[in-house]
Amino acid sequence: METTGDYATDGSTPEPVLVERARSGDEPAFNEILRRYQRPILDFIFRMTGDPGAASDLAQEVFVRVWFGLGRYEPRAGAAFSTWLFQVARNAALDYLRRRSRHPTVSLGTLDEYGESVAGTGRTAHEESVARETGEQIAAAIACLPEDQRTTVILSEYEDFSDDEIAAVMNCSRKSVEARLYRARQFLRDRLRNLIR
Q: What are the tens digits of pLDDT across the range 96-119?
A: 888 875 444 444 343 444 444 444
Is pLDDT of 121 > 90? no
Pairing mode of beta strands 3-4, 7-8: antiparallel
pTM of the predicted model over 0.75:
no
pLDDT at 66: 92
Q: Render the burial of 10-42: b for 16+ CB within 10 Å, e for the rest.
A: eeebeeeebbebbbeebeebbbbbbebbeebbb
Range with lowest mean pLDDT among 67-71, 103-107, 119-123, 186-190? 103-107
Q: Quick check: 41 and 59 in contact, CB under 8 A?
A: yes
Residue pLDDT, tens place only, 134-158: 778 888 888 899 999 999 999 998 8
pLDDT at 187: 92
Residue pLDDT, tens place only, 1-37: 344 455 555 667 889 899 999 988 899 999 999 999 9
Q: Identify the sign of the CA torsion 66, 69, 70, 72.
A: negative
Domains of the chain: 7-101 (1.10.1740.10), 106-143 (no CATH), 144-192 (1.10.10.10)
Residue pLDDT, tens place only, 168-187: 999 999 999 999 999 999 99
Residue pLDDT, tens place only, 37-62: 999 999 999 999 888 888 999 999 99
